[in-house]
Each structure stands twice: as structure tokens, then as C-alpha cells.
Amino acid sequence: MPASDAPPAGSERDAPAEKGDGDPDGPGPSLTRTDERVLAYLADAGTDYPAFVASNTGLYLDHVESRLDALDAAGLAERVTGEAVYRITDAGRDALRDDCAAWSD
């Protein structure tokens, strides 16, 4: 069973999170709830393997791996070794902060 926010296969939400259109004042990438959870976890943990990210966030490993690939492509997370160990980037912290601000009152 896919995660509750998993997009249908082949949908636009399956695509990598996109960077803004070059306008520094324009909107940044649109984060899914999974993206928020993964980035928030990496912001707290520092670096970690996808399996541990999945285990510690309650998400399915396959979904975490696909979102980490998308976040890496968007420059919001990055591999830090030849193995699959990821960390959040400064751009990822900015996107997470901007996205969370939209949810607060």
C-alpha cells in the first residue's frame, strides 16, 4: 500500500520538486508532505541512509528513495558519499522554512 500522499504513477507529483523559475522573489519548489517529512528529518539528523529516513519517518522505503532522488535533483538534498547517504542542503532548509511558514497562522 503506497503512502497516503504518494502520487499515482506517472502523475505530475511523481516528477522532481522544481526550483523556482529563476525569479529570486518568486515561489520556490512545491514540497509534498513526504518531502517536508524527509527534509525535516534530515535537518534534525544531519545525514542518514534512506532506510533509516524511512524507518524514522514512518514512510515506505521505496517512496523515500524516490523522493530523495527528486529532492537531490532539485538541489534540496544531496548525497554525501558514494553510498546512498543524504543530507539537506541550504536550499532545502530554505524551502522547508518557506513551506512551513505557509502552514502557520
- DSSP string covering 22-48: S-TTS--PPPPHHHHHHHHHHHHHSEE
pLDDT of amino acid 99: 72
Reply yes or no on whether the pLDDT at 24 is more than 60.
Answer: no
Q: From residue 75, how far is each of 20, 60, 103 by CA, in Å? A: 11, 22, 23
- What's the rounded Cα separation, in Å, for the pair 56 and 75? 22
What value does the mean pLDDT take over residues 54-61?
A: 96
Roughly what angle, to the nearest 10 degrees, separates helices 33-45 and 61-73?
80
CATH assignment of 30-103?
1.10.10.10
Reply yes or no on whether the pLDDT at 59 is more than 50.
Answer: yes
Reply yes or no on whether the pLDDT at 7 is more than 90.
Answer: no
Give the β-pairing of 77-79 and 86-88: antiparallel
Q: Assign 22 a pLDDT band (cuts: 50, 70, 90).
A: very low
